Amino acid sequence: ASMLIDMGSEVHVFEMLDQIIPGSDPEAARMLQRQLQKRGVKFNVGVGVEAPRIGDSVTIPFGEDSVDVDVVLVSVGRGPATDDVGLDKTSAKVDRGFVEVDPSTMMTAEQGLYAVGDIVAGTPQLAHVGFAEGIAAVTHIATGETAPVNYQAVPRVTYTHPEVAEVGMTADQAQEAGIEVETTKHAFNGVGRAIIIGQNQGFVKVVAEKDGPIIGASVVGPQAGEMIHELMYSVGWEALPTEAAAFVHAHPTLSEAVGETLLSSAGRSLH
């Protein structure tokens, strides 16, 4: 939608769940939706669609309304392609096409048979996750040592304009897990570099256990996919806010938004 609206198309987005990019921080999703709406994208959230009617154009019925379009892009995820590859002749356990593995080695129940990437049951279907799982498998094959992937510290990036990047748990997910959290946020409209480049919409948010380590973070804004990696280390190393906030960020940079958020999380906000 972000790309097509920039190319001059009229774009309608239908999302059956209650927010776009489900599973993301709700505030981050709302910020992205607002920015895309300003550029002309039309959203229908919490709405299911019926089978399209195809004539001179394609009619998409939804609720008591409909919209005529030229092209429909169905983007509801993807399934594993593991049929007819011989897994039924092994001891590997398969659930609806997804292969179950030992997460410490990526080995299946069949000795010496490994699975990585999108076909692995219960892991994110992301290219960089597949790479990391491949490294874990090869490490075990070559050395017998385990090198498990820290899935909690895997960054997730939505490559829109503005970008949305997240790592770890959202505040809602933490609370559902019974974890008491504190959240802090710093907006890009207070960051000099963001003002200079004219992209000052968005924010950095940090989620930390109350009196404990950083367990999640979200970035909405320019180069969010690059900036999330500093916060990835904080989550992966279970850094306390005071530890993560102890480093100086260059000025003027977009990363100052991360530094300001960490300072705020440590109780030492400057702005």
* Residue 16's CATH number: 3.50.50.60
**Is 128 noted as a catalytic residue in this protein?**
no
Q: Are 16 and 48 in contact (CB under 8 A)?
A: yes
Query: Is residue 244, in this structure, part of any structural domain at all?
Result: yes
Residues 187 and 230: their CA atoms lie apart, in Å, by 17
pLDDT for residue 53: 92
User: Would you say the pTM of this structure is higher than 0.75?
Assistant: yes
Residue 14 tokens, joined: 């239908």
Query: Is residue 74, in this structure, part of any structural domain at all?
Result: no
DSSP for 120-177, please give it.
BTTS---HHHHHHHHHHHHHHHHHS------GGG--EEE-SSSEEEEEE--HHHHHHT
Query: Is residue 253, in this structure, part of any structural domain at all?
Result: yes
Query: Is residue 189, in this structure, part of any structural domain at all?
Result: yes
Q: pLDDT tens-digit profile of 227-266?
A: 999 999 999 999 999 999 999 999 999 999 999 999 999 9
Residue 245 tokens, joined: 């906030």
Instruction: Say yes or no: 259 and 174 in one domain.
Output: yes
Pick the catalytic residue from 128, 229, 251, 271. 251
- The gap between the terminal CA atoms of the chain, to the nearest Å, is 35
- At residue 270 the predicted structure's pLDDT band, cuts being 50, 70 and 90, is confident
* Residue 173's CATH number: 3.30.390.30
Q: pLDDT tens-digit profile of 23-66?
A: 999 999 999 999 999 999 999 999 999 999 999 899 999 988 99
Q: Are 31 and 38 in contact (CB under 8 A)?
A: no
Average pLDDT of the chain to the nearest whole number: 96
Q: What Å distances lie between residue 244 and 40, 208, 222, 230, 267, CA to CA? A: 39, 11, 22, 9, 12
Decide if pLDDT at 271 tops 80.
Answer: no
Q: pLDDT tens-digit profile of 77-86?
A: 889 999 999 9
Q: pLDDT tens-digit profile of 152-181?
A: 999 999 999 999 999 999 999 999 999 999
SS3 27: helix
Instruction: Say yes or no: 143 and 160 in one domain.
Output: no
Mean pLDDT to the nearest integer, 203-227: 98
Instruction: Say yes or no: 161 and 257 in one domain.
Output: yes
Helices (H) and strands (E) in the chain, counts: 8, 12
Q: Are 233 and 260 in contact (CB under 8 A)?
A: no
Query: Is residue 82, in this structure, part of any structural domain at all?
Result: no
- At residue 76 the predicted structure's pLDDT band, cuts being 50, 70 and 90, is confident
- Domain housing 48: 2-69
Instruction: Say yes or no: 173 and 261 in one domain.
Output: yes
Show which of 119, 149, 179 is a domain's final residue. 149
Q: pLDDT tens-digit profile of 98-139?
A: 999 999 999 999 999 999 999 999 999 999 999 999 999 999
In this structure, the chain runs to a length of 271
Peptide bond into 61 cis (omega under 30): no
Q: Are 219 and 202 in contact (CB under 8 A)?
A: yes
Choice among 75-84, 189-198, 208-217 with the minimum mean pLDDT: 75-84
Q: Domain tally for the chain?
A: 3
Residues 190 and 188: their CA atoms lie apart, in Å, by 5
